[in-house]
Amino acid sequence: MNLDELRTLRDRIAAEIEKAVQGQEAIVELLLVSLFARGHCLIEGPPGTAKTLLAQSLAAALSLDFKRIQFTPDLMPGDVIGSNIYDFGSRQFELVRGPIFTDILLSDEINRAPPKTQAALLQVMNERRVTIDGTDHAVGSVFFVVATQNPIEQQGTYPLPEAQLDRFLFKLEIDFPGEEAEFAILRRHAGQPLDHDARKAAIVPVAGLAEIRAGQALVDAIRLDDEILRYVLGLCRATRADVDIAYGVSTRAADGLCGAVRARAALDGRDYAIPDDVKLLFGPTMRHRVVLSPTAEIEGRSPDRVLAAILEQIPAPR
């Protein structure tokens, strides 16, 4: 596979997803960037904005193993990672694998579960293996978590801890589509069966494990110029000095942004990155990692607004 073929593959995957989810092209692009950058995605939005359908459609377009966890207040860590169960027949403990043993994991409404259960994902999201009773077990070779959550103002939700948030490369904020896009959705659905699964039936798998690995290898081969690295560093260090931010982003966050920039360049068919890659990805990579100051929160500033101001302050390389 070469870069032109990777760009074509990106377009084919996006086209398949669009068969079920319309009006969210920017979100789909970032979802694919995260996949090929070996990151994970947190998608936040109000109910009914196709968050779950988006993840299901991605899985349908890829010939990869897919599992879903519906997070609820009574979900336990063992329900997520699995546990050793004593088999009276063999008189031995046998591992009953949890749903995390997969390639694509949909963690639906992740903020409905208490922090103890959310934390069950910490190790596997970072190391792609999980420890059960002192023994390490590898998960899928392409382990990609797509988590959805409702806005924290919704009743019955638990805020994700900072350590959990930092495991996500992107936080994508999905909103209601524009009027024309929403009309197109209604018109398309008006001619389809009311069965929810029928709306995903038209999606055809266009990539598998080999293609994803080949694409990720192309991303690995992308190198960033010092000018781009300095630009990323300047933006990240600016978050630590901004009066509206109590806690700026870490070096790991900066490194994650660099990886995302490399992935976007490769998916666009380029073997080099440009400042626009950084500008596009800075917000989704950092919005869930910065902690605003009390004054900024009282005055109603949002992370996106503060990060946009930093983008304006730090000059981009030419």
Both 47 and 194 in a single domain?
yes
Report residue 170's pLDDT band, with 50, 70 and 90 as the boundaries.
very high
Both 165 and 146 in a single domain?
yes
Q: d(Cα 264, Cα 140) in Å, to the nearest integer? A: 23
Average pLDDT over residues 118-131: 87
pLDDT tens by residue, 37-46: 999 999 998 8
pLDDT of residue 315: 93
Report residue 199's pLDDT band, with 50, 70 and 90 as the boundaries.
low
Query: Is 128 domain-assigned?
Result: yes
Sequence letter at residue 268: D
Both 57 and 181 in a single domain?
yes
Average pLDDT over residues 237-252: 93
Query: Is 181 domain-assigned?
Result: yes
pLDDT tens by residue, 141-164: 789 999 998 876 666 778 888 888
Query: Is 169 domain-assigned?
Result: yes
Q: d(Cα 159, Cα 164) in Å, to the nearest integer? A: 10
Least confident stretch, 107-116, 180-189, 308-317: 180-189
Q: d(Cα 256, Cα 289) in Å, to the nearest integer? A: 12
Report residue 98's pLDDT band, with 50, 70 and 90 as the boundaries.
confident
In CATH, what number is assigned to the domain containing residue 305?
Answer: 1.10.8.80
* pLDDT at residue 234 is higher than 60: yes
pLDDT of residue 164: 84
* DSSP result, 17-63: HHTT--S-HHHHHHHHHHHHTT--EEEE--TTSSHHHHHHHHHHHEE
* pLDDT at residue 140 is higher than 90: no
Both 278 and 309 in a single domain?
yes
CB burial string 55-70: b at 16+ within 10 A, e below: bbbbbbbbbbbbbbbe
Query: Is 186 domain-assigned?
Result: yes
pLDDT tens by residue, 265-314: 999 999 999 999 999 999 999 999 999 999 999 998 999 999 999 999 99
Average pLDDT over residues 208-222: 94
Number of residues that make up the chain: 318
Of 215, 249, 279, which one is at a domain's C-terminal end? 215
* pLDDT at residue 198 is higher than 60: no
Indicate whether this model's pTM tops 0.85: yes
For the chain, the domain total comes to: 2
Q: Which domain holds residue 297?
A: 222-313
Structure tokens at 143: 């382990």
Both 91 and 197 in a single domain?
yes
Average pLDDT over residues 192-201: 66
Query: Among residues of the chain, what percentage have pLDDT more than 70?
Result: 96
Long-range contacts, stretch 89-93, CB < 8 angstroms, 24+ apart: 93/133
Both 143 and 278 in a single domain?
no
Query: Is 318 domain-assigned?
Result: no
Orientation of helix 251-267 relative to helix 209-221, angle to 10°: 110
In CATH, what number is assigned to the domain containing residue 99?
Answer: 3.40.50.300
Residues 6+ apart with CB under 8 A from 276: none
Tell me the pLDDT of the chain averaged across its residues: 89
Average pLDDT over residues 72-84: 88
Helix (H, G, I), strand (E, B) or coil at 217: helix
Outline where 147-208 has alpha helix (H): 162-165, 179-190, 198-201
pLDDT of residue 144: 94
Report residue 200's pLDDT band, with 50, 70 and 90 as the boundaries.
low
Least confident stretch, 111-125, 151-165, 250-264, 271-285: 151-165
Average pLDDT over residues 222-239: 96
* pLDDT at residue 15 is higher than 90: yes
Q: d(Cα 31, Cα 69) in Å, to the nearest integer? A: 19
Give the residues across from 235 on adjacent strands: none
* pLDDT at residue 229 is higher than 70: yes
Q: d(Cα 14, Cα 207) in Å, to the nearest integer? A: 11
Both 36 and 167 in a single domain?
yes
Judge contact between 138 and 128, C-beta under 8 A. yes
Both 104 and 29 in a single domain?
yes
Both 61 and 194 in a single domain?
yes
Both 163 and 231 in a single domain?
no
Of 157, 187, 215, which one is at a domain's C-terminal end? 215
Of 215, 239, 258, which one is at a domain's C-terminal end? 215
Least confident stretch, 62-71, 90-99, 229-238: 90-99
Query: Is 156 domain-assigned?
Result: yes
Average pLDDT over residues 125-144: 87
Both 71 and 210 in a single domain?
yes
Both 159 and 275 in a single domain?
no
